[in-house]
Amino acid sequence: MNPVSIVASGHTRFGRLDGKNLEDLIVEAASEAIADAAIDPAEIDAVYLGHFNSGMVADGFASSLIHQVSPALRFKPATRCENACASGSAAIFSAINAIRSGSADLVLVVGAEKMTSNTTEQVTRALAGAGYQNNPAEAGLSFPQLFGIAAREYTERYHDPLPAMARIAVKNHRNALDNPLAQMRREVDFEFCNTVSDKNPLIAPPLRLTDCSLISDGAAAVILASPERAKSFARQVSFRAHTHVSDFLPLDKRDFLAFEGPELAIRRAYEEAGISHQDLDFAEVHDCFTIAELLVYEAMGLAPKGQGERALLDGTVMRDGRLPVNLSGGLKAKGHPVGATGVSMHALAFRQLTGTAGGIQREGAELGMVFNMGGAAVANHVSILEATRA
């Protein structure tokens, strides 16, 4: 089957964007993508929105806010997709399916979230809604606490992961310095990240502040095209593979530390694309907490179970390494506006593969991977993207 392609992108800055509401963010990202594609909005057949919400904003019916971009979008079918922190990838995959079904040739996808108008406690409670609610013991756990459990289990099963987690934080903060869209462009050193202090307190033991992603506002957009329609665009990045694996929601029904859902989604994507991790030029992965990125290294096959730190120590995942991970700064430093995250990953991968990523460019990149996760390794979306025309 001829693959669907990304042909344009848009991306707001991520951060505390006071004075901008959800509608403003959606319109800004979508407008940039349409301008990047150099098309009349009337040419778009459908729009999809990735948006988690969970009570963080009053906009419970946000899909048609994309229509505010242009009167020409009025009456275009609009659909909101929600899959926790993978809502953006869910929207992209839904758009791919619409194109493959023949019901659309050109689709606009936006991911957006407005989070900072809430307190930290309110955001923590909203995100916790993506956990299992029918077990009081699990329902009472925040996501930092859930991934704190993963870090403790890693210690019990293998060894202390905290030094490796600190190295991931240092790496991603360093990468974000060259990304003007990133929320936290501030370098931190290993000693700071690996030491509990007043400025780096414990959030959910053993997770420290530097192990946790950010509360962010922001939006990103991509335009997807059918194989025939994509030929008319100057830049084209095709989906060589896209896989979606969902696991049980209750933690007590699975081995969280095994990361079976992410591993299966990644393995299936490799098989569909006919590649291994050796063929990838870069990856953008879901580092909601530094322990998650460490586990992703192992799920990708970069190191055996319990030895993910090898990928850091031998330089594999570093900026100048064989397979740099999170050149954007990742969720850790770029920011994590939940519904926008998956679309942001794809938008920045598109820019990498078309040589338009600016300061975070990986020279000569031809093949990249995106891994976007919803919940505690529950919804797992993987894309293998290839530069068709750069």
Q: For residue 325, give every residue at least 6 positions away whose Cβ sits within 8 Å of its Cβ, in sequence order, or none.
A: 171, 282, 283, 284, 285, 293, 296, 297, 311, 317
Beta-carbon contacts of 109 under 8 Å, excluding residues fewer than 6 positions away, are 47, 48, 49, 50, 88, 91, 92, 95, 221, 222, 223, 224, 343
Whether the CB-CB separation of 49 and 110 falls below 8 Å is answered with: yes
Which residue intervals of 5-75 are DSSP H helices?
Answer: 22-37
Counted domains in the chain: 1
Would you say residue 23 lies in a domain?
Answer: yes
How far apart (Å, rounded) are the C-alpha atoms in residues 313 and 315? Answer: 5
Rounded distance, CA 251 to CA 180, Å? 37
pLDDT of residue 390: 46
51 within domain boundaries: yes
Cβ atoms of 297 and 369 within 8 Å: the answer is no
Nearest in space to 66 (alpha carbons), one of 87, 36, 82, 46 = 46
Task: Give CA–CA dist 38/11, Å, rounded.
Answer: 16
Buried b (16+ CB within 10 A) or exposed e, 139-162: eebbbbbbbbbbbbbbeeebeebb
Q: What is the pLDDT tens value at each position of the chain, 390 positions in all?
A: 679 999 999 999 999 999 999 999 999 999 999 999 999 999 999 999 999 999 999 999 999 999 999 999 999 999 999 999 999 999 999 999 999 999 999 999 999 999 999 999 999 999 999 999 999 999 999 999 999 999 999 999 999 999 999 999 999 999 999 999 999 999 999 999 999 999 999 999 999 999 999 999 999 999 999 999 999 999 999 999 999 999 999 999 999 999 999 999 999 999 999 999 999 999 999 999 999 999 999 999 999 999 999 999 999 999 999 999 999 999 999 999 999 999 999 999 999 999 999 999 999 999 999 999 999 999 999 999 999 854
Pull the structure tokens for residue 127: 């995100």
Helix (H, G, I), strand (E, B) or coil at 389: strand
Task: Kindly state the DSSP code that residue 369 receives in the 8-state scheme.
Answer: E
pLDDT at 2: 78
200: in domain: no
194 vs 211: CA distance, rounded Å: 9
The reply to whether 28 falls in a domain is yes
Instruction: Look up 11 and say whether it is catalytic.
Output: no
Catalytic residue (choose from 173, 336, 346, 381): 336
Can you tell me the distance from the alpha carbon of 252 to that of 376, in angstroms, rounded to the nearest whole number?
12
Provide the domain limits for residue 17: 5-118+215-230
Cβ contacts of 269 within 8 Å, gap of 6 or more: 241, 242, 243, 369, 382, 383, 384
Q: Is residue 237 part of a domain?
A: no
Tell whether 17 is covered by a domain: yes
- Cβ-proximal residues to 344 (8 Å cutoff; 6+ apart), any chain: 11, 14, 88, 111, 218, 220, 328, 334, 337
Active site residue 212: no
Catalytic residue among 81, 85, 212, 288: 85
Strand partners, 324: none
* Domain annotation covers residue 95: yes
216 touches 14 (CB < 8 A): yes
> Residue 113 maps to which CATH number?
3.40.47.10
Structure token digits, residue 201? 């307190």
SS3 content of the chain, % helix, strand, coil (to 5): 40, 20, 40
Domain presence at residue 221: yes
This prediction has a pTM of 0.98
